[in-house]
């Protein structure tokens, strides 16, 4: 059984060229996935709430329909995990609504959206526990273990999650995020892999396969992008993992002058990276320079007129990192149940006419 795991597509992110995203999915992802038995989308398919009249809204429908064409033609199971609520919201239901005419396969729907912790068993005996993001429970780890026990299983073959694990946390966080899972407790319950979305830098650590993102969005995500496949062997309940690279993604390149030291070395390094990573002449380039003067910026712009060049001082980087980590801890966990109350608490003084019932009515209408 072949499993394809693709996560964090973020349709609507302003850093992504929609045409390039569509082309990369159609030329790289869908052909490789065409012989899959199961496709897992690991969350954050959407970047934000999209207007159907917007370019991103139209692109999302096009991408969904093309994937559903593949799923229907090849009879592939498709499972879509809900990611962070502020990204996916309830927009993933488009997958199910547009797949309503697709038949079942061996008693299971071809297409499902997972928005709660649950276990699914496939006809060949393979089992997966799903753990979406922003689950309104006190302890996400214990909820995952409870779901496995409730399915009367000692172990599952896979887990598919959207959240943090301790080894993926940025350094210096003052508190542990709500969606951080406990590896020591969950890993013994998973035989093969733990597929994980949410963190955009891909990695494989013990059983955790952090898929990263299919495209690059920013500096600090300069590793190869793409998705993973796993060939699952039913007899042994083991698998073989492979990485499929998205060779069409936009290059984000950091020039650290503390290491490169001279403009000549920096330009030589930049030329080599662009030659290796730029998929075509029309592809934009994002270059970040850490500690430099304006002469290097001018030299880069002369060589690559389409390059987006930014400059960061070491001190500013540290300050921004600390500020971000402090701010993220203050953000509430947003769910369907608590969203009206959060909005009401923030607007009741400035807009007293906005009652809680009125807010619920507006949200329901949207």
User: Is the predicted pLDDT of residue 329 greater than 70, yes or no?
Assistant: no
Domain boundaries, the chain: 2-245, 252-315, 336-365
Mean local confidence (pLDDT), 294-304: 90
The model's pTM is 0.83
Distance CA 363, CA 180 (A): 29
Residue 214 pLDDT class (50, 70, 90 cuts): very high
Check residue 318 and give its pLDDT. Answer: 39
Contacts of 293 (CB under 8 A, 6+ apart): none
Q: What are 174-202's pLDDT values in tens digits?
A: 888 888 999 999 999 999 999 999 999 99
User: Is the predicted pLDDT of residue 116 greater than 50, yes or no?
Assistant: yes
Residue 298, H or E segment: helix 294-303
Check residue 180 and give its pLDDT. Answer: 94
Check residue 324 and give its pLDDT. Answer: 40
Residue 360 pLDDT class (50, 70, 90 cuts): confident
Q: What are 222-252's pLDDT values in tens digits?
A: 999 999 999 999 888 899 999 999 999 999 9
In three-state secondary structure terms, 49 is coil
In three-state secondary structure terms, 46 is strand
Mean local confidence (pLDDT), 36-44: 98
Check residue 45 and give its pLDDT. Answer: 98
DSSP string, 235-257: TTTEEEEEEEE-TTSPPEEEEEH
Count CA atoms within 13 Å of residue 181 on its CB side: 29
% helix, strand, coil for the chain, step of 5: 35, 25, 40
Phi, psi torsion values for 203, nearest 5 degrees: -165, 160
The CATH number corresponding to 2-245 among 3.40.30.10, 3.50.50.60, 2.60.40.10, 3.60.21.10 equals: 3.60.21.10
Residue 178, H or E segment: none
User: Is the predicted pLDDT of residue 25 greater than 80, yes or no?
Assistant: yes
Higher per-residue confidence, 116 vs 317: 116
Mean local confidence (pLDDT), 317-343: 54
Residue 156, H or E segment: strand 156-162
Check residue 311 and give its pLDDT. Answer: 87
Q: pLDDT averaged over the chain?
A: 90
Q: What token pair was written down for 35?
A: 């012989």
User: Is the predicted pLDDT of residue 349 greater than 70, yes or no?
Assistant: no
């Amino acid at each position: 059984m072949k499993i394809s795991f693709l996560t964090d597509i973020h349709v609507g992110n302003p850093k992504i060229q929609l045409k390039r995203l569509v082309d990369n999915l159609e030329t790289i992802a869908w052909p490789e996935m065409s012989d899959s038995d199961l496709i897992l989308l690991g969350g954050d398919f959407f970047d934000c709430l999209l207007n159907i009249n917007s370019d991103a809204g139209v692109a999302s429908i096009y991408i969904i329909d093309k994937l559903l064409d593949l799923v229907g033609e090849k009879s592939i199971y498709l499972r879509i995990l809900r990611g962070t609520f502020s990204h996916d919201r309830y927009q993933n239901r488009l997958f199910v609504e547009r797949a309503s005419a697709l038949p079942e396969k061996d008693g299971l729907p071809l297409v499902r959206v997972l928005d709660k912790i649950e276990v699914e068993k496939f006809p060949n005996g393979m089992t997966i526990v799903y753990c979406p993001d922003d689950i309104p429970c006190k302890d996400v780890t214990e909820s995952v273990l409870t779901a496995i026990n409730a399915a009367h299983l000692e172990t599952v073959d896979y887990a598919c999650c959207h959240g943090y694990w301790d080894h993926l946390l940025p350094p210096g966080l003052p508190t542990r995020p709500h969606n951080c899972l406990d590896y020591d407790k969950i890993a013994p319950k998973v035989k093969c892999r733990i597929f994980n979305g949410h963190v955009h830098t891909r990695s494989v650590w013990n059983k955790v396969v952090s898929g990263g993102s299919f495209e690059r969005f920013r500096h600090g995500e300069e590793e190869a992008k793409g998705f993973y496949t796993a060939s699952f062997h039913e007899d042994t309940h083991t698998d073989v993992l492979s990485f499929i690279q998205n060779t069409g993604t936009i290059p984000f390149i950091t020039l650290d002058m503390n290491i490169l030291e001279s403009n000549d070395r920096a330009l030589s390094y930049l030329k080599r990276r662009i030659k290796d990573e730029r998929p075509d002449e029309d592809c934009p380039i994002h270059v970040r320079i850490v500690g430099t003067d304006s002469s290097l910026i001018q030299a880069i712009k002369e060589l690559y007129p389409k390059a987006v060049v930014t400059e960061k001082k070491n001190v500013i980087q540290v300050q921004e990192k600390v500020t971000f980590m402090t701010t993220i801890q203050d953000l509430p966990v947003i769910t369907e149940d608590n969203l009206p109350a959060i909005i009401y608490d923030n607007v009741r003084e400035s807009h007293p006419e906005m009652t809680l019932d009125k807010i619920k009515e507006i949200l329901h209408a949207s």
